[in-house]
Amino acid sequence: MTRTANLQAVAERAGVSVSLVSRILSGDDAVRARPETRERVRAAARELGYRPHGAARALRLAKAGALGLVVHDMSNPIHAEIIRGAQAAATARGQVLLLSDAAQLAGNPDAFAQLVGPGRIDGLLWQGSGESYDDELTARAAEHLPTLLVNSRSRAGVPALRLDDERAARLAVRHLVDLGHRDIAYLGGRPGADLTERRHAGYVTELATHGIPVRGEWTVEREWDAPAGYAGMTELLSERPLPTAVFVANVVVAVGALAAAREAGVRVPEDLSVVAVHDAWFVAHGAPPLTTVRLPLGRLGETAVAMLLDGDESRAGGGLVIDTPAPELLVRGSTHTYEGAR
């Protein structure tokens, strides 16, 4: 664990000044040096195993070379997908990614201050969940740093990037309609969250397009997790008349919903068709394999990083929709033609 060589060590070995080494190694073409000198410097750097000191460079350049990424639940595969995209974009552009958890940050002011303080990160990506502290923390961060909300509409004046949730919802609902369903329920996420609202809007719009009235008792919103999906589906199954199909606003919720249907003895897809927004590897292997609408989550992460690095985040001032690639319907085993009254 020997102390790594710095510029001065390289300079001494090559018999030149520190400043010359810096310029040559950083590929500064404006500097005038003999080819043989350049080669000597490079050789010295190589021999000593020189690697630039991150903190020193960050200090001098007033650029951390890092981006912060805050998520509120890593075990959610949806978020993992966003992280992966952000990670790839950051690495490709020579930046590192600093990961943190929203709930932990909310409970630890010092950690938050450290993260958004000067000299740590050059920009912040926030994948919240609509918790009350999200707005406060992101607004505070935005005072000091380029900040971007991810998978959300713009809140508290902070720019945001999101997906075309309404279109995804319409695609899913239209699939059900195409199969002959007219009694279609909506199972959402946390009430009031804009994700569920936008997907509900798509659901309503698509039904209207086909002249199908919306029944209030077939709209249930609980939370973004599987237990909520279980409870929500249980509630839907207590309604009379029963719907013949359910549009679920999130694949995680759908996992719980499928379990509830199974326990209630309702067969999917024979008795009830189910389609959900977002795809995840494990629902493709479920019983039944779930029909889903895939959205470009990875692209969302990539784009967010790119905008932050390009200082372009104000373009998303009022919220910006990533709509390519377009939402894609993946038909699997949880949706089925409506066969008429049972």
Partner DNA sequence: CCAAGTTGGTAAAACGTTTGTTCCCATCGG
Partner DNA sequence: CCGATGGGAACAAACGTTTTACCAACTTGG
Binding residues for a second copy, per CB under 8 A? 1, 4, 51-59, 64-66, 69, 74-75, 77, 80-81, 83-84, 87-88, 91-92, 94, 96-101, 104-105, 108, 110-111, 113-115, 117-120, 143-146, 226, 230, 252, 255-256, 258-259, 262, 280-282, 284-287, 289
Q: What residue ranges in 72-201 does DSSP mark as E strands?
A: 96-101, 123-127, 147-150, 160-163, 184-188
In the complex, least distance from residue 285 CB atom to a second copy, rounded to whole angstroms: 4
Token output for 49: 């195993």
15 binds, among DNA, a second copy, none (CB under 5 to 8 A by kind): DNA
Q: Which does residue 74 bind out of DNA, a second copy, none, counting CB within 5 to 8 angstroms by kind?
A: a second copy
Rounded to 10 degrees, what is the CA torsion of 240, 245, 248, 249?
-100
Residue pair 78/280 in contact by the 8 Å Cβ criterion: yes
Residue 93 or 210: which CB sits closer to a second copy?
Answer: 93
Nearest to DNA of 58, 168 (CB atom): 58
* Minimum separation from the CB atom of position 68 to a second copy (A): 9
CB-based contacts of 224, cutoff 8 Å, min separation 6: 76, 129, 189, 190, 193, 250, 252, 253
Shortest spacing between CB 93 and DNA, in angstroms: 17
Q: CA torsion sign, 41 to 47 to 49 to 55?
A: negative
The CB-of-40 to DNA minimum distance in angstroms stands at 8
125 binds, among a second copy, DNA, none (CB under 5 to 8 A by kind): none
Q: Answer for the pair 164, 181: CB distance below 8 angstroms, yes or no.
A: no
> What residues line the site for DNA (CB under 7 A)?
3, 6-8, 15-20, 22-23, 25-26, 28, 31-34, 37, 50-53, 56-57, 59-62, 118-119
Q: Which does 159 bind (CB under 5 to 8 A by kind): DNA, a second copy, none?
A: none
In whole angstroms, give the CA distance from residue 116 to residue 215.
46
> In this structure, are residues 199 and 248 in contact, taking their beta carbons and an 8 Å threshold?
no
* CA pair distance 339, 271, nearest whole angstrom: 9
Among all chains, which residue has been given the structure tokens 């509409």?
153
37 binds, among DNA, a second copy, none (CB under 5 to 8 A by kind): DNA
Nearest distance from C-beta of residue 149 to a second copy, angstroms:
17
Q: Report the chain's C-alpha Rg in angstroms.
A: 26
Min dist. Cβ of residue 243 to a second copy (A)? 21
Binder of residue 331, out of a second copy, DNA, none (CB less than 5 to 8 A by kind): none
Residue with tokens 């199908």: 212
- What's the min distance (Å) between Cβ of 194 and a second copy? 24
Q: Which of residues 81 and 206 has its CB atom nearest to a second copy in the complex?
A: 81
- Nearer to DNA by C-beta: 41 or 204? 41
Residues 6+ apart with CB under 8 A from 159: 147, 148, 149, 313, 314, 315, 316, 317, 318, 319, 320
| Distance in angstroms (rounded) separating the CA atoms of residues 186 and 251 | 13
Residue 224 interacting entry, from a second copy, DNA, none, C-beta within 5 to 8 Å by type:
none
Which lies closer to DNA via its Cβ, residue 7 or residue 176?
7
The distance of closest approach from Cβ of residue 310 to a second copy in the complex, given in angstroms and rounded to an integer, is 16
